[in-house]
Structures are given as C-alpha cells and as structure tokens.
Chain A
Amino acid sequence: MTETLATLVDFDEVLEKFDPAMGLEVHVELNTNTKMFCGCPAVFGGAPNTNVCPTCLGLPGAMPAVNAKAVESAIRIGLALNCEIAQWCRFARKNYFYPDMPKNFQTSQYDEPIAFEGYLDVEVEGETFRIEIERAHMEEDTGKATHVGGSTGRIQGADYSLIDYNRAGIPLIEIVTKPILNTGAKAPLVAKAYVSALRDLVKALGVSDVRMDQGSMRCDVNLSLAPKGAGGLGTRSETKNVNSLRSVERAVRYEMSRHAGILLAGGSVLQETRHFHESDGTTSSGREKSDAEDYRYFPEPDLVPVAPSREWVEELRATLPEPPAERRVRLQADWGFTDLEMRDAINADAIDLIEETVAAGAAPQAARKWWLSEISRRANEAGVDLVDAGVSPTQVAEVQKLIDAGTLNDKLARQVFDGLFAGEGTPAEIIEKRGLALVSDDGPLLAAIEDALAAQPDIAEKIRGGNVKAAGAIVGAVMKATRGQADAARVQQLIVERLS
C-alpha cells in the first residue's frame, strides 16, 4: 500500500543534481543440514514447529553449540569475496524484543566479524565497478510470524500473530558493502549486478540455494543522495522486502527519485526502514521508530571465540570454485559468442540457463537464441526474472532437439513455448495436444503440392521455366494448407523435383 503521494523526480534530473550512494546488505541462508546453534534440521517448509528443540526455542537452560559447517561456509564466502579472515573473532548478542526471536536476542557477530575488507568486481554495460565489502558475519535467522485478522495479511491491522520457529536458528551469513559511490546513472544497474554476481558466487560455492523468491537470499537496499559534486553522504533510507533482482534495480531507482523529491522541496530525508512493493515498484514507511534501537551488544558468554587457523583457511581457499568472471571468459570461448552476445547474455542473467541448456544437448547459439529472444520477451511481459519464466533449460533443449530432428520449425516451436508457459505439460504432450508436429511424411505434402499447382497453373509454368523463386507461392499455399506444419525447405525441394 503506498503512502500519500511521494513527489518523484525524473531520473535524469536526479542525476543532474545529486550523486547517489548505496549500501547493500545481503543475507544468505546456508544450506547446512542443521541450524547454526543446534542440531535441528535446517529445512525450508515443513509442518509448523516440527524442527525445534530447547535451544532454538529459547527454553530456559538451553545452550548454543556452533555448527562447524556454517563456520566453514562463512570462511569460504569471505575468501571468495577476497576478504581477510579473522584470526580470532566472537559471537555477540544483539538484544531486542520481538516475538519471532525466542531468546529476545539474536546471536550474531558485532565488532568482530569472521571476514572483512574484501571486494567484488561487477560489470555493467562494459564498465567495471569494484564493490568494496565491509564484512561478512555469521548469525541466526528468526522464526516466521503470520499475521491474522488484518486485510492485507501484513502486520498493520492484524489482530494477533502466529509464530512458527522452524526457521529460528537457521544459519545466515550477512554480507555488507561499504558505501557504493560514483555509479551515477548506473546506480540501479550496479546494485542489481552486485546482487546477481554475489548470488552467482555463493551458488558456485554450493553453500546456499540463494533463491530470492524463497528467502534464502535477502537484500536490503540502503540509499542516500548527496548534492552533485559536494562529496559526503546524505541521510539514508533502508528498503526491505526486495525479493528479486528486478526489485533491487527498481528499489534503487524509486528511492533515488523519492529522496530527490524531498530534498528539492527543501525537506530532509527521514532515516527509516521502508518496505518495497512488488506490485508497483514503490516503497512505503515502516512503523515509526520511537528512538534508534540500542542493541546493547556484548560478547556471547555461552560461546567461545572462533579462531580459524591459517592452515584451515588455506585448505578452504583451495576448495573455492572458479571465480565467476573467469568462468564467463571460459564459457564465451567454449560457446564462440561475440563480446556483444556474451554481454547481452550476462545482462539478461542468462549464463547459467544457457550453460544448463547446452549441457542438456542444445547448441550454444540455439540456447542463446531462445533464452534471449522468445523467453526474455515473455519474462519481461510477465514482469519476472528469466529464471522464473516457467521454462526449464531441459525443456528448451528438448524443443531445439525437435527442431533439429525436423519435428518442429521455429514458428511451431514458439507455439510449444506458449504451451510451456501456460503449464500445459511437456513439449511432447503439448505437441500432441495441440497437434503441432511438422508433417513428416511426404505423401500429404505431395498431395498438397498437387492441389496448389492445380490452383496456380501459371506458377507451375514459371518454375519449369527455371524461375525457382516462383515456387515460393506454392510453398506458401502448402504451408497454409498444412496450417504451418510443413517443413518449408522440404516442400521447396519436392516442388522442384516434381517439376523437373
């Protein structure tokens, strides 16, 4: 629900007058077997309160015990982000009251994160931006509250809430950037590219599903504007509920416009937390905060420090997969894409999808063609990321195989995609149901050719006379007669044979 009209300044004008600064906080939910501080299963979904124990329920007397795998994953993420790994660090309690937090404190890390001072390079339209990473630290997730009684299912207006603690205690790694400056007009794209690159990196490590739509990767977008050329940082707003890459871009864009609207009217931006709305790309104010939360951090007394030996860190460094940038160079060479083709594929966030499609048997160019044209078009129409478009790489490869085998042509293939998007089943089922297969038998084609020739006898004369191009009209007639389910090249060939 949007608040009463924010004044939004046109994007170009924002850039004329202001320099944006961004800070991105990404939470990654690890895919460990168990929770951060107890042996409960760390699984998505499941019947409520079935994955709980005294520790993650915060029962009196219970104590935490650190998951070794989570520490390992945290170090690997830090290394992949070119961070320094702490020689010695501790967990700390972040104290505040909220019903989804069983202890009313979160066991996290405060001034001693396990990884710090790193960077990640991202490319936007040919320009490279080095995003500096302030820190990556370990913490635990909260339970999940559903709000009952309000009209929107959101917290405002709810009568009461129901809490499921299955998620409480699942390991999270929080990655915080330093202020991202000097991005100018590309700010929204840089933000999106960073989150995308981070997602690739974490996915390649195999430590998380990084599904923004499922909450295993969450992004908070901080934005502020400073007067152009003045330096310094303006007051920032924090936007939460940013659940896709598109939303990251849109949130940055919207906040830039909104901040500018306030500042140009002579007002001051409120330092607050805002909520992003998928439906219209706007943000709205969260609940008013009476004063800044005082989290009263202190070292967690029930846990001892984590001091990863340098040997262990080097062992883990050796397990890092190919950095995404290097991988892209390799793939481009393997696939034979031009720089432009590769860049388009990267911008469309299609690299993984193309790779999977190729692995499923399609030629790289064919994979590229389908993902970047047909499927991209439909994803844009539906307002979703490519990966959420409703078609799998295996299905794309299957369709291409059918084209290669002569069962489909491009036009029919598009109708198969229609069916896939509509969820009508597998390509084979759709072809069957809709009767889309190309006519494979020459018999019906010859019959149709006879009919067409009979209907246009002068064309037949032209063809016999050596004007092969005239055959096009016959081909057209045959295609019409077969409702497009003829292989045009084969029809052409048959016509020529027939008339020679």
Chain B
Amino acid sequence: MSWIHKTAAEQAAALAAGEVTSVELTQAHLDQIAATDGELHAFLHVDAEGALAQAAASDERRAAGSPLHELDGVPIAIKDVLTTEGLPTTAGSRILEGWIPPYDGTVTTKIKAAGLPILGKTNMDEFAMGSSTENSAYGPTRNPWDHGRIPGGSGGGSAAAVGAFQAPLAIGSDTGGSIRQPGAMTGTVGVKPTYGSVSRYGVIALANSLDQLGPCTRTVLDSALLHELIGGHDPRDSTSVPNQVTGLVDAARAGAARDLGGLKVGIVTELQGDAWNADVVERFDESIALLKEMGADVVEVSLPSFVHAMAAYYLILPAECSSNLAKFDAMRYGRRVTPEGSPSAEEVMKVSRDAGFGDEVKRRIIIGTYALSSGYYDAFYGQAQKIRTLIIEDFKKAFEQVDVLVSPTAPSTAWAIGEKADDPLAMYLQDLATIPANLAGVPGISIPSGVSSADGLPTGIQFLAPVLEDARLYRVGAALESALFEQWGGQITPAAYAPKGAN
C-alpha cells in the first residue's frame, strides 16, 4: 500500500510522526499523476518542480519543529478556477489559454501559508458551466470508475484526482452542485460551505451570488480539516461573512462515534420521484435506515418552492455570468484573434470571444443578456430573485422542524461521455438536488452512499444544514460514513485504482 492510498489525516499524522517526508509524499502523488493522468486527464497543469520545492521547505520547517499547520506538507490540487500566481489559470477555457495570474486568490494564499505543496490545477467545465467536465475546452476528464464515463462537473478534475489517488485533497468550486455532484459520481466527499464563509477573492466568477469554494476529499474528516483551513472572513471579499469557521473537525470526530440521538433529519419530498433512478434511491434508502439505527429521527419535509429552483437558477446564473464574462475581450489579457484587414476593437472583441468561448458559455451569456434586457428584467431576473426569497423561506421553515435535510445527491450514476453533451436541458436536470442550496446560501455535503446495483458505479447522498451550521454536516456525514465504511470494509475505490491487496 502506497502513501497515496492513505487519507490526508493519516498522511498528516505520518508527517508529524516522522514516518514519511513531504517530499516523499509529494513525489508519490506526482508519480501517480504521471502514471494515470494521460488517461484520466484530471490535471490541466502539473507543477512538479514547484510542488517538490514547497515539499522540501515543509520538511525543513518540520525538522526545525515549526510546521505551519496540521496539514503542512500534505499535497493538494486546485481547480483551475482559482488564481495561483505564476501558475497558468484557464477556468477550462481557451480564452484564458496561457494566462498566468499576477496574484494569488485568498484561498491560495491560505493554502500556501499552511505549507501544503500545490501539485497543479485541475480540469473543469469551461467557466464552471456544466455537470460533466465535457465542456472543458481542453478535453474531458474521465471517471476513475469507468474511463468511458464522465466524472461529473463542473469540478470533475478535482473529484477524479482525489478519487484516483492523485491527490489526497483538492479544492473545488460549487455554484449549483459542481463539488457535490462530482463527489457523488466518483465516490468521493464534496462540501459546499455556507455562502460567504470561504473567500471568493481570486475565484473566476461564474455567478457571484451562488459561487463558493470547498473541499474535495475521500473522507469526511479530510474535508473538515481542509474546510477549516480555507474558511474565514476576508476583507477583500465584501460578501464574506464575519464569522470564523471552526468546530468542523471536532464535529467530524464526534460524529464518527455514530451517536445521532436527538438529530432530526428531513427527507425532501420534492427531491424524490420518477426523476430519480431506482438504483440511486436503493442506496439512499439504505443510508436512511442506517441513520435511524444510529438514533436519528427521520421525517419527510416539503419545500414546495424547490420545483421552481431550476428555473430561477438558470436565469440568475446566466444573468450574472453574462456580465462577469464581459471582461474577456482580448484587450488586456487572454487570447486575441485579429481578423484580416484593419479591424476595430469591437470587431476584435467579437471574433476573439466567438473563438475563445465554447457553446455552453455562449448559450448562457446570451440567455443572461436576454434576462437582463430592458423590458425583460422584471419578468426574468427580477422574478428569479423573488423565487430565491421563497426558497430561502422554505428552508427556514424546514429547519424549524429538522436539523438537517437529506436527499440523493444526483438523479443517476455517471453516464457515458458524449451521451448528454448535445442536450443542455438534460444536463441541467442533473443539478435538481444541488441547486437549491446555492440559491439559499445553505451548506451541503455529498458523501458516497455505495455503488449502484445496476451498474456498479458510485452513488452519493446529500445533507443540507442551515446557514453557518456547517458543523452539522460533518457530524451526520462522519457518522454515516463510519457506518458505511464498516459495511464495506473501508472506503469504496474504483477497481483500476484500488491499492494492491485491498478488498
């Protein structure tokens, strides 16, 4: 068994105990990337030299008795949506091909300040628009469980990297499920923190009022460790909440004791029914039974405005992103395409944007431009913002009855690459369960709920908590994970990547 198969917490403990060095750990992961990423394509950029230098510095600090953080020296991968000074940052788009940011996002700064070597930048749907990572301008990432299938999106790269043991930790971003859904597709853990609790400074914006960075890991405890590291108020982000992010690791550790007595869990009525594949529901029902065994009180709760969540989301997001993406005009950075003759600035902008943006991006920009147009604002964008209010109110009412809400993370398991690529609406329906949390700002976690009896692919279960109550997710997530691991004899891993000699 290689170090890469250990959890981040285990790797950190081993570093602390002197059983391994960060250079060894980092090299082991770089070797795994070299061996597997030709096929998997989870990474857009690997910084071997930089990561090893950072690892060496970590080892020096540890030798001097002054590690920066519990995770000092544990390698990490970062979704290519977050700026990293000196490392290319593309957001999965051709329009930013080769762009090297002159500044670090706040979360990048925190990661560096804690001493984690950065392995590289992971693949994603272009500008985070998508649920399969097929919209990446650089080609899709493959699911470690079946290379012919999608890993989910938009953060398929981070989830696949973690699922294939290329990294023990990864940063993702979640606007409508882009951390949680890939987690479900790849049998890994993904968390969308409370909106505003993790800085967005340095995050290439998709929908400012929905985006949040979060952890992608193989275990709930690992997510808790990473989440506490990256969270907290940032004066550079005016939407950042003043609260500190603490207590998550404690909650995860406490949860692992599997005592959920007193916890009220609500199954969301609107996230059940025909849209949900039977094999997904099968695993979901088993997890519910386990929760009950552990002492949770499980009821059904209705959040009626959820039926409008998709429509509201697919108006708010394009509206905000149509404005966010206007800056990519080839005047100051990014790929400039100059047509023949003596074109005007306007013409160069148009041609460069047409060449640099993929279809999904163009679709959403045009819808967003329409939704904000004079004459349509009230009917579209304005209405969508009102639906948002209704959803927030539904959540508030629900959380008066229960402590956490629960649903399957996604309606199906991973589908074949290319299967839904030309059907945007079918793709959008994948986000049914995850979108409401972004609209309301509430935190959510997806943990693996076992493999499908139909196709052997992973399924995920999602918990949602009230704003700023992220700790509840870690408690219930750790409890369920512990119970499931016991059933499975450890975490579920894709056969092609399983440690030799594992079950």
**A contact set with B: CB distance below 8 Å:** 54, 57-66, 93, 95, 97, 99, 102-105, 159, 161, 163, 294, 296-298, 301-304
Contacts and interface: CB of A to CB of B under 8 A. Distances in A.
Given A61-B201, A102-B327, A296-B373, 17 more contacts: A57-B332, A58-B327, A59-B101, A60-B89, A61-B82, A61-B203, A63-B238, A95-B326, A97-B326, A104-B329, A296-B374, A297-B372, A298-B377, A301-B208, A301-B209, A302-B237, A303-B239
Contact of A296 (B101, B323, B342): B323
A298 to B, nearest CB: 6
Nearest to B369: A296
B355 interface: no
Contacts of A95: 323, 326, 372
21 contacts: A54-B102, A59-B83, A60-B89, A60-B328, A61-B82, A61-B204, A95-B326, A95-B372, A102-B332, A104-B326, A104-B327, A105-B326, A161-B345, A296-B323, A296-B372, A298-B323, A298-B381, A301-B320, A302-B239, A303-B238, A304-B238
B451 interface: no
A297 B373 CA distance: 8
B372 A302 contact: no
A93 B323 contact: yes
A59 B83 CA distance: 10
B310 interface: no
Contacts of A163: 331
Contact of A62 (B96, B201, B326): B201
A416 B105 CA distance: 62
Given A97-B346, A294-B374, A65 B236 contact: yes
Interface string B342-355: 10011001000000
Most buried by A among B89, B322, B345: B345
A63 B326 CA distance: 15
Shortest 10 CB-CB contacts between residues of A and residues of B = A104-B326, A301-B208, A296-B372, A60-B204, A61-B202, A301-B209, A61-B83, A58-B327, A103-B327, A61-B204
Given A95-B323, A97-B329, A63 B103 contact: no
B89 A298 contact: no
Nearest to B91: A60
B319 A298 contact: yes
A157 to B, nearest CB: 12
B126 to A, nearest CB: 13
B77 interface: no
A296 B101 CA distance: 29
Most buried by B among A60, A102, A304: A60
A328 B329 CA distance: 52
A171 B486 CA distance: 60
A57 B345 CA distance: 18
Contacts, number: 99
B323 A60 contact: no
Contact of B372 (A66, A159, A298): A298
Interface of B: 82-83, 89, 91, 96, 99, 101-103, 105, 200-205, 207-209, 235-239, 319-320, 322-323, 326-329, 331-333, 342, 345-346, 349, 369, 372-374, 377, 381
A313 B208 CA distance: 31
Nearest to B82: A61
B230 to A, nearest CB: 15
A63 B203 CA distance: 9
Nearest to A145: B345
B406 to A, nearest CB: 29
Contacts of A58: 327, 332
B373 to A, nearest CB: 6
Contacts of B329: 97, 99, 104
Contacts of A64: 238
A302 B333 contact: no
B372 A99 contact: no
Contacts of B99: 60
Contacts of A103: 326-327
Contact of A99 (B200, B320, B345): B345
Most buried by A among B202, B327, B381: B327
A60 B201 contact: no
B333 A59 contact: yes
Contacts of B326: 95, 97, 103-105
A187 B119 CA distance: 69
A161 to B, nearest CB: 7
A418 to B, nearest CB: 49
A327 B19 CA distance: 80
A195 B28 CA distance: 71
Most buried by A among B200, B237, B239, B329: B329
B96 A60 contact: yes
A104 B319 CA distance: 15
Nearest to B331: A99
B440 to A, nearest CB: 15
Contact of B200 (A63, A93, A97, A104): A63
A304 B349 CA distance: 31
A311 B464 CA distance: 40
Most buried by A among B235, B331, B346: B331
B323 A304 contact: no
B206 to A, nearest CB: 11
A66 B239 CA distance: 11
A59 to B, nearest CB: 7
A66 B96 CA distance: 28
A239 B213 CA distance: 47
A65 B238 contact: yes
A66 B238 CA distance: 8
B377 A63 contact: no
B227 to A, nearest CB: 20
A99 B349 CA distance: 10
A60 B326 CA distance: 11
Contacts of A161: 345
A103 B207 CA distance: 15
Nearest to B209: A301
A304 B112 CA distance: 29
Contacts of A65: 235-236, 238
A303 B200 CA distance: 12
B236 A63 contact: yes
B344 to A, nearest CB: 10
Given A298-B381, A301-B208, A54 B238 contact: no
A217 B5 CA distance: 65
Contacts of B205: 60-61, 302
B89 to A, nearest CB: 7
Given A102-B332, A104-B326, A298-B323, A60 B83 contact: yes
A64 B239 CA distance: 10
Contacts of B105: 61
A302 B238 contact: yes
A65 B238 CA distance: 6
Contacts of A304: 238-239
Contacts of B346: 97
B368 to A, nearest CB: 9
Given A65-B235, A303-B238, A59 B209 contact: no
Nearest to A163: B331
B356 to A, nearest CB: 13
A66 B349 CA distance: 30
A102 B331 CA distance: 9
Contacts of A62: 103, 201-202
A64 B204 CA distance: 13
Contacts of B345: 99, 161
Given A104-B327, A104-B329, A97 B349 contact: yes
A117 to B, nearest CB: 24
Contacts of B102: 54, 59
Contacts of B201: 61-63
A97 B105 CA distance: 26
Nearest to A60: B204
Contacts of B369: 296
Contacts of A159: 342
Given A66-B238, A97-B346, A302 B208 contact: yes
